[in-house]
Structure 1
Amino acid sequence: MMQPRRSPRNPFLFALISLQLQFLSGLADNNPSDHKKENKGVSEHASKGSTGLKILFVILGVVAVIASGVFLFKLWQRKKREEQHARLLKLFEDDDELEVELGMRD
C-alpha cells in the first residue's frame, strides 16, 4: 500500500502560521462589550497599539535573522573562494627544490 506523501516541514512557515494564529486569537480576546463606555476607546487603542508593536518586533526579528544569515553565507563564500585561490596558486607556483632534486637545474 502506498502511504501518502508528506510534504517537507519548513520551520519558518510553521512560525509564521503560529504567529498569525496568535494574532487572530488576540483579536478574538478583545471583546469591546466587556469594557465600560468611558474606558472603551482608551482600552481598544492601547490593545491595538500593543498588538501592532508585537507584530513590528516579530517582523524586525525575522528581518534580522534573514540579514544575519545572508551575511554569514557571504562570509563563508568569500572564505571558501580565498582558500580555493590559495590552493590554485600553490599548485602553479615554481618549485625550485623539485627541479634541483631531479637534476634539471643546478
Structure 2
Amino acid sequence: MARVRRVLFWLCSILLSFPVLIPAAVVTLDSIEIFTTHEWLLMKPTVYFRCSGENRTVLPDVKEKHVVYTFKGVESWQPLTELPDIKCKRCGFYEKDAISDDTFDEWEFCASDFSMPDGKYTHFKDKELNATFICPECSPHANVTVGTSRSKEDSSGMHWAVIAAIIAVASSVSIAVMVATYKYWQKRKRQHEQARFLKLFEETDDIEDELGIGPLSHVI
C-alpha cells in the first residue's frame, strides 16, 4: 500500500505541475502619428512599443512627425502584444536614445479599452502621439459571438482533458495495485514453501527417532 500511495502522490504532482492557461487576445497596431521627436541632432527617431516584461517591438517605418502611418496588421513585427481577459499590462511607446530612452507615453493597456464594435481603440497623448489599435477578440461584440463558441470549445476540451487525466490516474493505480498484489502473493508463496520444507525435515526427524536410526542411536 505504501507503493500505491507513492504512485498517487507522483501522479498528483504531475497534474498540478501543468500551468494554468489564461486566454489572451492578439493586439495589432492600426495606425500611429507622432507629434514630436526627442532627437537633438535632427536624426531620424527609432520608435518602439513595449509592455513591461516583454521584448520591444520597433516600428521601422515611423520616422517623421505629423505623418499618419497606417498598417495592415500582417507586417513582420506584428502583432504588438497579447492582452489577457482579466488583467491589464503596463505598455507604452518609446524612442530609442544612446543614453536613456525617451517616453512618448506609458499607460495601463487593458482588453476592456476596446469598447467599440469594430474592435478598435485609440490612445491619444497631447503633444506626443495618436495611436489606434485593433483587437477584435477584445471588443464586447466579439465576446458575445466568438467568446461563446470559444467557451464551448474550452469547456469541451477541458472535459476531455479531465476524462483523460482520470483514466490515466485510474490505470496507473490499477497497475500499481496489481504489481503490489503479485509481489505479496509471491512473498506468501515463498513463506508457504519454506514452511512445508521445514515441516518435511521435522517429519523426517520424527521417523528416524521412531526407527532408532537417528544421530543418538549411532552414538549408543
What percent of counterpart residues are identical? 31
Select which of 51, 58, 80 maps to 2:160. 51
Counterpart of 1:102?
Answer: 211
Higher relative helix content: 1
**Counterpart Cα distance in 2 of 1:97 and 1:88:** 15
TM-score by length of 1: 0.56
CA shift in 2, pair 1:92/1:101, >3 Å: closer
TM-score by length of 2: 0.29
**Counterpart Cα distance in 1 of 2:175 and 2:209:** 55
**Counterpart Cα distance in 2 of 1:85 and 1:102:** 26
Gaps of 5+ in 2: 1-144
TM superposition shift of 1:83: 0.6
**Counterpart Cα distance in 1 of 2:182 and 2:153:** 43
Higher relative strand content: 2
**Counterpart Cα distance in 2 of 1:51 and 1:103:** 78
TM superposition shift of 1:91: 2.1
Larger Rg: 2
**Counterpart Cα distance in 2 of 1:58 and 1:97:** 58
Stretch deviating more after TM superposition (41-50 or 52-61): 41-50
Output the aligned Cα RMSD.
Answer: 2.5
CA shift in 2, pair 1:46/1:99, >3 Å: same
CA shift in 2, pair 1:86/1:71, >3 Å: same
Q: How many residues align?
A: 72
Match for 1:77: what amino acid? Answer: Q
Stretch deviating more after TM superposition (81-90 or 93-102): 93-102
CA shift in 2, pair 1:99/1:37, >3 Å: closer
- Residue 85 (str. 1) matches residue 194 (str. 2): yes
CA shift in 2, pair 1:96/1:71, >3 Å: closer
Map Cα deviations across residues 1-54 of structure 1 (whole Å, 9 max, x no partner).
xxxxxxxxxxxxxxxxxxxxxxxxxxxxxxxxxxx4231222121111111001
Stretch deviating more after TM superposition (38-47 or 54-63): 38-47
Bigger relative CO (Cα 8 Å, ≥ 6 apart): 2
Map Cα deviations across residues 51-81 of structure 1 (whole Å, 9 max, x no partner).
1001001111111111111011011101100
TM superposition shift of 1:98: 2.5
Aligned residue runs from structure 1 range 1-106, under 5 A: 36-93=145-202, 97-104=206-213, 105=217
